Chains A and B, each alone.
Chain A
């Protein structure tokens, strides 16, 4: 492997980044090789001191995704960071992925619950208002006044909406927590790799 191939592998493994960022990174390492060779070090020596281009790319990528995830806690970024860290070691495959899936399913369930409750509240409220009109066709054995029922359903609907808003805050909190966990995880992976090398 020569310097061009090294930079090529690095570039290929960085392709999920923005082009300007990739160019900037490649520029840094091109400069590193140029100056190193000027100072009389060999290509091989320089490549050895940088380490594997794939591992280098993963370190850079993970740094970048975790940064994005922390800045804007969006599911797509978290997903990217999760999958990059899965690439980092097998440990993550059995550790982060189930965690991520659990968080995702719990959040989905909560959102579905909120939507169902809101919908039930709204339909119930409307239904109760029209009950006096349709009561001659439908026999509906109840001692509760339709107005009371309408308000009760309205309350249920309002609860659903508040629950939905609560869900949004809760999921933001979880995303932030996941981002922090990923950073912590990166530190562990780094530590482990160094111990393996050393």
Chain B
């Protein structure tokens, strides 16, 4: 898959993961890189951007292993935008799918 294409949907992936539960940075990065091949460093600037525009907030929580961890949590505006982005994405995939199938029949 094209790397630039992956990058575009990365933001949506992070937001979608956070709709299920609050997560800390490492797990978010890990969860995404398990499915999508990407340089893990690029997710941190992305998380900072999502925080700066107010889609996510962070809080610290103690862990059993040691130092407290920074958790990421969706804000109400983040939840709203995730819904919109998900709708856009599904719409886009549907259209591309029908285009590709159309191409198959004609080609």
Listed in ascending order, the chain A residues whose CB lies under 8 Å from chain B are 25, 27-29, 31-32, 34-36, 38, 49-51, 55-56, 59-60, 63, 67, 190-191, 194-195, 197-198
- B1 CB, nearest partner CB in chain A, Å: 10
Asked whether B45 lies within 8 Å of A32 as measured between CB atoms, the reply is: no
B23-38 near A? 1/0 per residue, CB < 8 Å: 0111001000100000
Rounded to whole angstroms, the CA-CA distance of A40 and B67 in the bound complex is 17
Rounded to whole angstroms, the CA-CA distance of A191 and B7 in the bound complex is 9
Rounded to whole angstroms, the CA-CA distance of A117 and B101 in the bound complex is 67
Q: Interface residue tally of chain B, by bracket?
A: 20 to 34
Question: Residue of A at shortest CB range from B40?
Answer: A49
5 closest residue pairs by CB, A with B: A50-B41, A194-B3, A35-B26, A49-B40, A191-B4
Asked whether A195 lies within 8 Å of B3 as measured between CB atoms, the reply is: yes
* B24 contact set on A, CB distance < 8 A: 31, 35
The answer, among B3, B26, B48, B70, for a CB contact under 8 Å with A198, is B3
Rounded to whole angstroms, the CA-CA distance of A38 and B29 in the bound complex is 15
Question: Residue of B at shortest CB range from A66?
Answer: B49
Rounded to whole angstroms, the CA-CA distance of A41 and B25 in the bound complex is 16
- B37 CB, nearest partner CB in chain A, Å: 9
Asked whether B3 lies within 8 Å of A51 as measured between CB atoms, the reply is: no
- B64 CB, nearest partner CB in chain A, Å: 10
- B85 CB, nearest partner CB in chain A, Å: 17
B1-27 near A? 1/0 per residue, CB < 8 Å: 001100100000000000000001110
Contact status of A32 and B25, CB under 8 A, knowing A49-B41, A50-B40, A56-B41? yes
* B67 contact set on A, CB distance < 8 A: 31, 34
* A27, A29, A50, A195, most chain B CB atoms within 10 A: A50
- A49 CB, nearest partner CB in chain B, Å: 4
Asked whether B7 lies within 8 Å of A194 as measured between CB atoms, the reply is: yes
* A67 contact set on B, CB distance < 8 A: 49, 52
The answer, among B4, B45, B65, for a CB contact under 8 Å with A63, is B45
Asked whether B25 lies within 8 Å of A60 as measured between CB atoms, the reply is: no
* B39, B52, B65, most chain A CB atoms within 10 A: B39
Rounded to whole angstroms, the CA-CA distance of A38 and B24 in the bound complex is 15
The answer, among A25, A32, A51, A194, for a CB contact under 8 Å with B29, is A32
Asked whether A63 lies within 8 Å of B41 as measured between CB atoms, the reply is: no
* A197 contact set on B, CB distance < 8 A: 3, 39
| Interface residues in B53-94 (C-beta closer than 8 Å to A) | 65-67, 69-70
* A195 contact set on B, CB distance < 8 A: 3-4
Asked whether A49 lies within 8 Å of B33 as measured between CB atoms, the reply is: yes
- Given contact pairs A59-B45, A197-B3, enumerate 6 new A-B contacts (beta carbons under 8 Å): A27-B70, A31-B25, A32-B44, A50-B39, A56-B44, A191-B4
Rounded to whole angstroms, the CA-CA distance of A59 and B42 in the bound complex is 8
Rounded to whole angstroms, the CA-CA distance of A67 and B67 in the bound complex is 30
